[in-house]
């Protein structure tokens, strides 16, 4: 089976998922079958779902307090939101995703895995959900959704003051922190900290950026540009977040 757990990753998977390893296996099968057919996971990803996706996301659980509320922004196929729900049944998780075909998959997966009691699927853009519902979360997660300044702009308003944004990043994490820490401060975030999850369990460990929301910041409304208001120019022509580039990581 394309989503079967490779022997070399079994110890790590058991450490992450414990007695819910079989449930994680059912989710892996959903990704390898429906997820591929519906364009949520690339066909080449199916044989390496465990190491590149499930375990890689699952080790983020060590950053999340017991009983926390979690909002997963740009959840896509459920990475990391559904993975965390499988690994940590004590968490209450909201999956935020703007595209209908993805939210349909998420809802079906949540029901198929018996996660309805702890997981809610919300169709919408993160920037449209500020002020709730859902209520500000203890922890907001995201996986390679956007550069750190934009990601903080979307996610910090969904985070309770004193709560944290935990963003799964790659090798660029240190560079992004250096480039965007001032913008994050203006958004009410504390100093971003790069942390490694799964040290001694997976190689390489997962790299995350942790940002505490230190204060509430009321964003100023941008003035509409003359260019955006030009006759015959639609909002879709302006590119930006709706251009389709931001979700390529998991499709």
Tell me the mean pLDDT in the region 149-164: 95
Q: What is residue 3's predicted lDDT score, i.e. its pLDDT?
A: 72
Q: What is the Cα 49 distance to its own chain's centre?
A: 16
Q: What is residue 219's predicted lDDT score, i.e. its pLDDT?
A: 57
Cα–Cα distance between 250 and 144 in angstroms, integer?
9
Name which of 248, 77, 53, 31 is nearest 146 in CA terms: 248
Q: With bands split at pLDDT 50, 70 and 90, how would you rate the model's confidence at 31? A: very high
Bigger pLDDT: 3 vs 92: 92
Q: With bands split at pLDDT 50, 70 and 90, how would you rate the model's confidence at 21? A: very high
Residue 71 has pLDDT above 70, yes or no: yes
Bigger pLDDT: 146 vs 225: 146
The model's pLDDT over 82-122, given as tens digits with 9 standing for 90+, comes to 999 999 999 999 999 999 999 999 999 999 999 999 999 99
The model's pLDDT over 180-239, given as tens digits with 9 standing for 90+, comes to 999 999 999 999 999 999 999 999 999 999 999 999 887 554 444 344 333 343 333 333
Percent of the chain clearing pLDDT 70 (strictly above): 86
Cα–Cα distance between 224 and 233 in angstroms, integer?
13
Category of 70 on φ-ψ map: left (φ > 0), alpha (ψ -120 to 50) or beta:
beta
Q: What is residue 237's predicted lDDT score, i.e. its pLDDT?
A: 37
Tell me the mean pLDDT in the region 45-71: 94
């Amino acid at each position: 089976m394309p989503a079967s757990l490779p022997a070399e990753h079994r110890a790590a998977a058991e450490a992450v998922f414990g007695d819910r390893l079989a449930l994680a296996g059912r989710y892996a099968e959903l990704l390898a079958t429906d997820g591929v057919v519906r364009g949520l996971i690339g066909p080449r990803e199916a044989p390496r779902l465990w190491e590149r996706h499930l375990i890689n996301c699952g080790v983020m659980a060590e950053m999340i307090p017991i009983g926390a509320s979690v909002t997963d922004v740009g959840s896509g196929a459920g990475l990391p939101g559904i993975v965390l729900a499988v690994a940590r049944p004590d968490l209450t998780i909201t999956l935020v995703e703007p595209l209908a075909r993805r939210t349909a998959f998420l809802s079906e997966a949540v029901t198929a895995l018996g996660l309805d009691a702890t997981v809610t699927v919300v169709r919408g853009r993160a920037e449209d959900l500020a002020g709730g519902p859902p209520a500000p979360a203890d922890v907001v997660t995201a996986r390679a959704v956007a550069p750190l300044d934009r990601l903080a702009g979307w996610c910090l308003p969904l985070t309770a003051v004193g709560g944290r944004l935990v963003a799964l990043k790659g090798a660029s994490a240190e560079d992004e922190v250096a480039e965007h820490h001032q913008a994050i401060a203006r958004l009410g975030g504390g100093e971003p900290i790069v942390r490694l999850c799964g040290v001694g369990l997976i190689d390489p460990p997962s790299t995350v950026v942790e940002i505490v929301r230190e204060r509430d910041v009321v964003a100023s409304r941008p003035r509409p540009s003359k260019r955006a208001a030009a006759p015959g120019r639609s909002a879709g022509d302006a590119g930006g977040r709706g251009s389709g580039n931001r979700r390529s990581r998991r499709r």
